[in-house]
Amino acid sequence: MPQLNDTANGSMAPAPQAARYDVAVIGAGAAGLVAALVFARDGYSVLLMGAARPVRDGRTVALLDGSVSLLKRLGAWPSIEAHAAPLATMRIVDDTGSLVRAPPVSFDSAEIGLAAFGFNVENADLVTALADLAARQEGIAFPGTELQSLADEGEAVRLVLADGSQAMACLVVAADGRRSQARDRAGIETRDWSYPQVALTAIFSHRLPHQDTSTEFHTREGAFTLVPLPASTGGAHRSSLVWMMSPDRAERVRALDDAALAAAVERRAHSLLGPMAVDGPRGVVPMGGLSVKRYASGRIALVGEAAHVFPPIGAQGLNLGLRDVATLRDCVVDTADPGEAAGLAAYDRGRRLDVGLRTRGVDLLNRSLLSGLLPVDLARGIGLSLLDRIGPLRRAVMRTGLAADEPTTPSLMRRADAA
């Protein structure tokens, strides 16, 4: 890439020509990597900024059916599938101890004609596989350099990278995470909030098989969820854990050694998976949420956690981020200039309802667990009982959770012809 102010010969050099791209993606997390691959697949020239730095902290992502279809179309699925376990059943257990406790509810993917709702994979394995593919993909420049600043110049956006090089792009996809600098530069307002919760993430081996079933225990401190992972190379059954708890408990749990943590988790899980052992490093994430006033401004579009953050309930976060990417692609793909106003206005309109509904749904469910008020418990209990008893309602909720093959499903996330 051309360098700014090249004064090697001692004289004032003329301003260098900035390299031009159709699309610039900021952030090489999962959302940014997929965005780069999606636009390169359509023949756009792409600059991908940032370095993939996968962290092994026990965090996994459950990728739902539409996300898997998208990854298949990108050719990314075989290397991800090797590290992923199918999710055939999702079980919710009311463990709040409330007087009006709901019965356990199981959602079985076979009920809606699917072998699995999706697949669970370690976030680090997902990012590694996507970054390897992006590095090999024709049409993507991936120098591993961060964005330093950007300026929307109307006809295109000027980007200055941390190494001093410059580039121009018609469309900028901001996938630079919760504290997105690009979002601030685009002048997009946010609302953010926090919950009195911390999520502990870790991976465990256990004696009993998980039977491709995830179990979400609803407790007074939030969800405690065990999600299947593939067996270890030695054949041990494995699952990942997201345990939402009060900051006080988090302090105590943080101090536990591996054996004591495994025993505490086994107790919390009512020995569902038998004796457990910690298998790898742990992570701790303070819980909060973020929403944006707009999903695009000028030539800049927000995707992934740059656009929305909420607690990890119902496996919605990254799946929603990938739906941002696939929707953005559908809005701009037929235009000569991918950053033109009409396409980005359509993107903004298209994301409001989907993201808004899911942010409010997860927020409501999370707060209902924390509230401890009997009428709230009653409403949640009735809702779960109805889901348990009424098949058509349960199937409708499963389809809404997956958001696959609805009229609004982006084309790359439809099931029918996914490779």
* Residues in touch with ligand FAD (CB under 6 A): 26-32, 49-50, 59, 61-62, 123, 146-147, 175-177, 181, 199, 201, 242, 285, 304-305, 312, 315-319, 321
Q: How far is the CB of 64 from ligand FAD (least distance, A)?
A: 7
Q: Whose Cβ is closer to ligand FAD: residue 123's or residue 297's?
A: 123
Nearer to ligand FAD, 176 or 377 (CB): 176
Shortest Å distance, C-beta 147 to ligand FAD: 4
Using the minimum distance from each CB to ligand FAD, give the nearer residue, 356 or 372.
356
Neighbours of 45 (CB within 10 A): 18
Contact 262, 278 (CB under 8 A): yes
Q: Which lies closer to ligand FAD via its Cβ, residue 98 or residue 265?
A: 265
* Residue 162 or 418 with smaller CB distance to ligand FAD: 162
Amino acid identity of residue 213, one-letter, is: T
If the CB atoms of residues 312 and 350 are measured against ligand FAD, the closer one turns out to be 312
Q: How far is the CB of 412 from ligand FAD (least distance, A)?
A: 16
- Asked if 2 and 18 count as a contact pair (C-beta separation under 8 A), the reply is yes
Length of the chain: 419
Minimum CB–partner distance for residue 14 and ligand FAD (Å)? 27
By beta-carbon proximity to ligand FAD, the closer residue of 227 and 332 is: 227
* Closest distance to ligand FAD from the beta carbon of 136 (Å): 19
Least separation, in Å, of the C-beta of 25 and ligand FAD?
Answer: 9
Upper half-sphere CA count for residue 97 (Cβ side, 13 Å) = 8
Nearest residue (CB) to ligand FAD, 59 versus 206: 59
Nearer to ligand FAD, 360 or 389 (CB): 360
- Quote the CA–CA distance of 253 and 245 in Å, as a whole number: 10
Specify whether the CB–CB gap between 26 and 147 falls below 8 A.
yes
Q: Dihedral of the CA atoms 401, 96, 278, 177 (nearest 10)?
A: 40
Distance CA 116, CA 396 (A): 16
List, as one string, the DSSP characters of 312-334.
Answer: SSSS-HHHHHHHHHHHHHHHHTT
- Nearest residue (CB) to ligand FAD, 27 versus 228: 27
Q: Per DSSP, which regions of 179-282 are E strands? A: 190-206, 213-219, 222-229, 237-245, 276-278
> What single letter denotes the amino acid at residue 16?
P
The conformation of residue 408, written as its DSSP 8-state character, comes to T
Query: Contact 239/229 with Cβ under 8 angstroms?
Result: yes
Mark 395-408 as b/e (b = at least 16 C-beta within 10 Å). Answer: bebbeebbbbeeee
Asked if 394 and 51 count as a contact pair (C-beta separation under 8 A), the reply is no
Rounded alpha-carbon distances, angstroms, from residue 164 to 1, 12, 269, 387: 10, 16, 52, 56
Q: Closest separation between CB of residue 390 and ligand FAD, Å?
A: 26
| Backbone phi and psi for residue 26, each to the nearest 5 degrees, phi listed first | -105, 115
CB of 180 to ligand FAD, least distance (A): 7
CB of 312 to ligand FAD, least distance (A): 3
Query: Strand runs (DSSP E) across 293-383, as ranges?
Result: 296-297, 300-302, 308-309
Q: What is the smallest separation between the CB atom of 229 and ligand FAD, expressed in angstroms? A: 12
**DSSP code of 156?**
S
> Integer distance in angstroms from the first to the last C-alpha of the chain?
35
Which C-beta is closer to ligand FAD: that of 49 or that of 381? 49
**DSSP β-ladder status, 300-302 and 166-174:** parallel
What is the identity of the amino acid at 235? G
Residue reference for tokens 């058509």: 392
Q: Say if residues 108 and 125 touch (Cβ distance below 8 Å).
A: no
